[in-house]
Chain A
Amino acid sequence: MKRLIPIAAVVVVFAAIPLVVQSNATLNFLVVTLLIALAGQGWNILGGYGGQYSFGHAAFFGTGAYITAILQVRYGVNAWLGFAAGIAAGAAVGAFIGGLAFRSGLRGSYFALVTLAFAEVLRIVASVAPITGAGVGTLMKLDLRAQAFQFQSRAVFYWVILALVAVSLLIAQWLERSRFGIWLIAVRENEDAAMALGVDATMVKLGAMVLSAAITAAAGCFYAQYFLFIDAGIAYGTWISIEALLTPIIGGGGTVFGPLLGALVVKSLGEGAKLVAGDAPGLDLMVYGAVLVLVIGFAPRGFIGVVTDARQWLRRRFSRSVRETAHD
């Protein structure tokens, strides 16, 4: 129970924000930040805890978004059911790609490459297939009712995405304590050694991939529901593959709060860059890429690592000064 206190505290603080801040622009910024944090938590399960770096998480995000949108627009399915179906479809795509890649023993560079290629194939298919609206994209109907998963107030959307992020934090927390999570970390640290100790590395990685894909797909479902429009470039574009990987790496890979912290840092920097240099295409991603290189170079454990180090340094410093005064 004690371990859940930090998560509860963070969620309560975030949940209180709309009670204080009414600005639509700020709430919108926070919704997008939490959306990226959710997609990033998905990447974090596989990449951060499992050490399998995917460069194509857009495959899951886009599948979630398209399934949610298409089921509603073309088949009149209820939005909440569509949402669940989107998550399931994302997980299925994860199982498919993971099954193929891990069974063939693809690791490192090869795994990154094959995930990138799958996302690209899906993007091309989505940009020509009639069911996705091809080049025009899919526009969803405005229907501001709770049973249609649309809300008059932005604050409600914000609480919904916050609840999803809270669930993803709990999943990460569970992972750290569970046997499955320990296996996954063992595979990350040394796959051959883990296998020698009896860990079924392929199944563990596959499980992590499915979980990871489901979480990132949930972010995609929410995207469709919030913006009510998607096309191939949004759903399967490289931007989301990059942001999903960026947030955990910058915040701290393989930690519960890494993706959330990373999303806050990354999105704030993006907004800051826009304030300084004006809104122009490419500017925010340019800043993200530079931050990615700098963080890997100077803080390989991300911002969380920096915070932990600083805390330890302060503690050492403090205990030393206490000891010195005791001597006097």
Chain B
Amino acid sequence: MLSPVILIPAILNGLLTGAVYALVALGLTLIYGVLHIINFAHGALLSAALFAAFFASRILGLDPYFAVFLLAPAFFALGYALQRLVIGPASHGDDRNMLLVTLGIAVVLENALLYAFRADTRTVDVAYAFQTIDFGFIFLSVPRVIGFGAVFVVALLLWLIMGWTDIGKAIRAVAKEKLGAELAGIDVAHVYAVTFGLGSACVAVAACLLIPTYYVNPTVGNAFVLIAFTIVVLGGMGSVPGALIGGLIIGVVESLSGLFLGESLGQIGIFLIFIAVLLVRPSGLFGARA
């Protein structure tokens, strides 16, 4: 079982999966870094984005890789509106309220999807779903390799936005010192909403990358988001490199524990890491002390 013929593909596949996990986690960590709350609606947003990608393909006939250019802006707008019109006003500036409001939104979204589409599982048919690339020593699935590359493009884009644009500077300022940023004339409510929009857009991109090889149902997002929570906690809340590296680590851990322990116990392995990190070092690998 430990022969490299099995081990190396398992590790490589884990890295490919981990990249998409990292993208979901990136959205979560971005929101945490600025708003200092965990967005419990993240999983429901991912389910919604997967449905959107599914219907874009089924009804509009859009290939998921083109749909991303439509869905990412749409989910940015959705996230912006959610924060600006619902989460911000409803929570009266109290962190505990904000948690509850995101949970409320998650419950509404998830059950609205369940009500509208029932619990059926759906998949998209694309010609390249089962194509593989031969690397000589290993075959890798084409859509997953594309996903892996796309994640790093998104991370690069985010890095550019954060480092070289005015809104990026404003976001970093608010994350560091909210009151000071407000005194300097930064519209904090707007920055919060933009951050939430960016986090939601990450989810939309992840959905488009996932849908060719994955399925969609109203609760599918939860599985990802618990993994994403683990990644964010492991990498350090609010840390972007932490989310990327954490995602890759968790992808490999999941792949290997699935290989050795079987599917459902593999999931528990991830949770145990999660609980252990939270209890031993809640600030994670790259985070500042919470």
Interface residues in chain A, defined as those with a beta carbon under 8 Å from any beta carbon in chain B: 51, 53, 55, 100-101, 104-106, 108-110, 112-114, 116-118, 120-121, 124-125, 127-128, 242, 245, 249, 280-283, 285-286, 288-290, 292-294, 296-297, 300
Q: Which residues of A contact B91 (CB under 8 A)?
A: 296-297
Instruction: Evaluate contact between A114 and B97: CB separation under 8 angstroms.
Output: no
Q: Which of B96, B111, B267, B278 contacts A51 (CB 8 A)?
A: B96
Given contacts A114-B278, A128-B264, A283-B115, contact A296 B90 (CB under 8 A): yes
B184-222: which residues lie under 8 A (CB-CB) from chain A?
A: 218
B213-256 interface bits toward A, Cβ cutoff 8 Å, 1 = contact, 0 = none: 00000100000001001000100000000000000000000000
* Shortest CB distance B233–A (Å): 7
Q: Measured between C-beta atoms, what is the minimum distance from A290 to chain B in Å?
A: 5
B90, B104, B272: residue with the most chain A Cβ atoms closer than 10 Å: B104
Chain B 253-290 interface mask (CB, 8 Å, partner A; 1/0):
00000000000110110011011001110100000001
Contact A286 B108 (CB under 8 A): yes
Residues of A within 8 A of B38 (CB): 109, 112-113
Let me know if B106 is at the binding interface, CB within 8 A. yes
Mask, B74-93, CB within 8 Å of A = 1, is: 00000000000010011110
- Please determine whether B233 and A113 come into contact, CB atoms closer than 8 angstroms: yes
> Can you name the residue of chain A whose Cβ is closest to the Cβ of B94?
A300
Q: Assess the A109–B226 pair: CB atoms within 8 A.
A: no
Which of B99, B268, B272, B290 meets A112, CB within 8 Å?
B99
Contact in complex: B112, A282 (CB < 8 Å): yes
- Closest 5 pairs between A and B when the two form their complex, measured CB to CB: A289-B107, A282-B114, A297-B90, A282-B111, A289-B108
| A residues less than 8 Å from B265 (CB atoms) | 128
Q: Which A residues are CB-close (under 8 A) to B226?
A: 116-117, 120
Contact B103 A55 (CB under 8 A): yes
Contacts of A120 in B (CB 8 A): 226, 271
Give the shortest distance, in Å, between A218 (CB) and chain B (any CB): 24
Distance (whole angstroms) from the CB of A202 to the closest CB of chain B: 14
Closest to A298 in B: B90
The reply on B119 being an interface residue by CB < 8 A is: yes
The answer to whether residues A104 and B280 also contact, given A281-B114, A293-B86 and a CB cut-off of 8 A, is yes
Q: Please determine whether A121 and B108 come into contact, CB atoms closer than 8 angstroms.
A: no
Count residues on chain B whose CB falls below 8 Å from chain A CBs. Answer: 48
The residue that B107 contacts in the complex, of A51, A114, A285, with Cβ under 8 A, is A285
Is B100 located at the chain interface by the 8 A CB criterion?
A: yes
Q: How far is the CB of A120 from chain B (nearest CB, A)?
A: 6
A113 & B111 in contact (Cβ 8 Å cutoff): no
Given contact pairs A108-B95, A283-B115, A300-B92, enumerate 9 new A-B contacts (beta carbons under 8 Å).
Answer: A101-B278, A124-B268, A127-B264, A242-B103, A245-B100, A282-B111, A289-B104, A290-B108, A293-B86
Say whether A286 contacts B275, CB under 8 Å: no
Q: Which residues of B contact A282 (CB under 8 A)?
A: 110-115, 218
A292 touches B92 (CB 8 A): no
Q: Is the CB of B275 within 8 A of A121?
A: yes
Q: Which residues of B contact A (CB under 8 A)?
A: 32, 36-38, 40, 86, 89-92, 94-97, 99-101, 103-108, 110-115, 118-119, 218, 226, 229, 233, 264-265, 267-268, 271-272, 274-275, 278-280, 282, 290
**Nearest Cβ on chain A to B99's Cβ, whole angstroms:** 6
Alpha-carbon distance between A104 and B78 when the two chains are bound, in angstroms:
36
Q: Are B104 and A100 in contact (CB under 8 A)?
A: no
Residues in A with CB closer than 8 Å to B99 are 53, 108-109, 112
Known A-B contacts A109-B99, A293-B90, A296-B101; A124 and B282 likewise in contact (beta carbons under 8 Å): no
Contacts of A290 in B (CB 8 A): 104, 108
Q: Give the complex CA separation of A254 and B71 in angstroms.
A: 42
Assess A293 versus B274: contact at CB under 8 Å? Given A109-B38, A125-B268, A286-B108.
no
Minimum CB–CB distance for B146 against chain A, Å: 31
Q: Which of B97, B275, B282 contacts A300 (CB 8 A)?
A: B97
Whole-angstrom distance between the alpha carbons of A113 and B226 in the complex? 9
- A124 and B271 contact, CB distance less than 8 A: yes
Residues of the B chain whose Cβ atoms lie less than 8 Å from the Cβ of A124: 264, 267-268, 271
Which single member of A105, A288, A296 contacts B100 (CB below 8 Å)?
A296
A117-B229, A125-B268 as given contacts; A104 in contact with B95, CB under 8 Å: no
Residues of A within 8 A of B108 (CB): 286, 289-290, 293
Are A121 and B107 closer than 8 Å at their CB atoms?
Answer: no
Q: How far is the CA of A209 from the CA of B46 in the complex (A)?
A: 32
User: Cα distance A282–B226 when bound, in Å?
Assistant: 21
CA distance A235 to B233 in the complex (A): 27
Q: Are B119 and A118 interface neighbours, CB within 8 A? A: no
Q: Contact between A293 and B104 (Cβ–Cβ < 8 Å)?
A: yes
Residue of B nearest to A109 (CB): B38
Given A113-B38, A117-B229 in contact, is the A280-B115 Cβ separation under 8 Å? yes
- Contacts A121-B275, A289-B111, A293-B108 hold; do A53 and B268 have CB atoms under 8 A apart? no
A51, B99: Cα distance in complex, Å: 12
Verify B271–A285 contact, CB threshold 8 A: no
Q: Which of A117, A127, A296 contacts B275 (CB 8 A)?
A: A117
The CA-CA distance from A296 to B272 in the complex, in Å, is 33
Given A110-B282, A121-B268, A300-B92: A281 and B118 interface contact (C-beta under 8 Å)? yes
8 contacts between A and B (CB under 8 A): A108-B96, A117-B274, A286-B111, A289-B104, A289-B111, A292-B104, A296-B97, A297-B101
